[in-house]
Amino acid sequence: MSETYSPGLEGVIAGETAISTVETGLTYRGYAIEELAEHSTYEESAYLVLYGELPTVQQAAEFRARLGAAANVPPEIIETLRKIPASAPTMDVLRSACSLLAHWDPEAADNSHAANVRKTERLLAKFPVIVAARQRLRSGQDPVAADSKLTLPANFLWMLRGEKPSERQVKALDVSLILYAEHEFNASTFAARCICSTLSDLHSAITGAIGTLKGPLHGGANERALEVLLAVGSPQQAEAWVNAAFARKDKLMGFGHRVYKHGDPRAVILKRLTSAVAAETGNQALEQTAEIIEQMAWSQKKLPPNVDWPCARLYHYLGLPMDLFTPLFVIARVVGWSAHVIEQLDNNRIMRPRALYTGPAVRKLPR
């Protein structure tokens, strides 16, 4: 047995993938995220991640039609959403709902490549319905039915608010979903691959991935990042707040990354977009606070912001409740997770690493 041990599996190559790489910036199936964010839509990028190629015009229309047809949720699940205590975090509710969806999916137990692609499309269509319905139910409103003519982000905002969103809002949400869609062997994707490597099923893998993403060191950071900004209060208080946080050795949520030590390319794209939305929505003070924190984190700790730092502000400026930030990450990432599950199953070997034993030497039971 090899004696190599790397805490947190840092630097360990744990598998092969053709879906994305962080080697030379971030690319999905060979396309740079900068180009995808500028010239594609979330639906096109989702199709790319799942199928390996960008869709033709006809394929994109058919994909939209399938998503539209699948944008419904069994009434029994809606009833369950109604009964879950209003205080339950939306991430927890979405995790439970993903598991419940398996019971109504006719292909839940079919692990073939084709069935897993079809199930992925259904999850992609149903997650926004669940998140929007849950948010409305917990605030005493009835769910709004999906509009199959709308794109996925437009439909989400429509189902959440019951009002047609502006093009600017849809575009901003769309870009954030493109940037959240896929990210190589992060913790939640690796969890999904581990789960399906036992020949378990797609719904189990995605349910586990949602539970993994929820943690504040991973996707949960986008909610914690806004908490930081709101706690700081104003640009005038930012410097003292950061100094105190660093003195306490607190982790600054939305900063740092295991792989991107000099900067997260997703954060660069989203920062530009977020600043523009801040200017249009009168949120310059929060942008200024964020900028001071960003400069201090870099000058004192060489810590660059990650994608969750600008995304937290963007979602706040779009008027989205904080509790929906990480569920939006799920709505986007389900294609990345599923593509990895499918890739893992196409060439599967069960994940079974070893541990470096640190317990007592062999001993006898006392008699």
Q: What is the smallest separation between the CB atom of 243 and ligand CMC, expressed in angstroms?
A: 13
Q: Active site includes 39?
A: no
Among 194, 238, 252, 290, indicate the residue that binds ligand CMC (CB under 6 A): 252
Q: Which of 183, 257, 316, 340 is catalytic?
A: 257
Which position among 208, 256, 304, 327 is part of the footprint of ligand CMC (CB under 6 A)?
256
Between 158 and 185, name the residue whose CB sits nearer to ligand CMC.
Answer: 185
Question: Catalytic: 308?
Answer: yes
* Identity of the amino acid at 242: V
**Residue whose CB is nearest to ligand CMC in the complex, by number:** 256
Pick the stretch among 63-71, 164-172, 191-199, 253-261 that binds ligand CMC (CB under 6 A).
253-261
Single out the residue of 221, 277, 334, 345 in contact with ligand CMC (rule: CB under 6 A). 221
User: Residue 42 in contact with residue 153, Cβ under 8 Å?
Assistant: yes
Q: Which is nearer to ligand CMC, 119 or 340 (CB)?
A: 340
340 is catalytic: no
- 254 interacts with ligand CMC by CB under 6 A: yes
Residues 145-204 that bind ligand CMC (CB under 6 A): 186
Cβ-based nearer residue to ligand CMC, 254 or 310: 254
d(CA 197, CA 63): 28
Binding map of ligand CMC across residues 8-27, x = CB under 6 A, - = no contact:
x-------------------
| Total interface residues for ligand CMC by CB under 6 A | 19
251 contacts ligand CMC (rule: CB under 6 A):
yes
Residue among 174, 201, 264, 308 flagged as catalytic: 308
The window from 130-138, 196-204, 251-259, 285-293 that contacts ligand CMC (CB under 6 A) reads 251-259
Contact range with ligand CMC by CB under 6 A, out of 76-84, 128-136, 305-313, 347-355: 305-313
Per residue, what are the HEC states of the chain? CCCCCCHHHCCCCCCCCCCEECECECEECCEEHHHHHHHCCHHHHHHHHHHCCCCCHHHHHHHHHHHHHHCCCCHHHHHHHHHCCCCCCHHHHHHHHHHHHHHHCCCCCCCCHHHHHHHHHHHHHHHHHHHHHHHHHHCCCCCCCCCCCCCHHHHHHHHHHCCCCCHHHHHHHHHHHHHHCCCCCCHHHHHHHHHHCCCCCHHHHHHHHHHHHCCCCCCCHHHHHHHHHHHHCCHHHHHHHHHHHHHCCCCCCCECCCCCCCCCHHHHHHHHHHHHHHHHHCCHHHHHHHHHHHHHHHHHHCCCECCHHHHHHHHHHCCCCHHHHHHHHHHHHHHHHHHHHHHHHHCCCCCCCCCCCCCCCCCCCCC
Which of 253, 278, 331, 341: binder of ligand CMC (CB under 6 A)? 253
For residues 29 to 58, the per-residue mask of contacts with ligand CMC, x marking binding by CB under 6 A and - elsewhere, is ------------------------------
Residue 267 touches ligand CMC, criterion: CB under 6 A:
no
Binding site for ligand CMC (CB under 6 A): 8, 186, 217-219, 221, 251-258, 301, 303, 306-308
Report, as residue numbers or ranges, the catalytic residues.
218, 257, 308
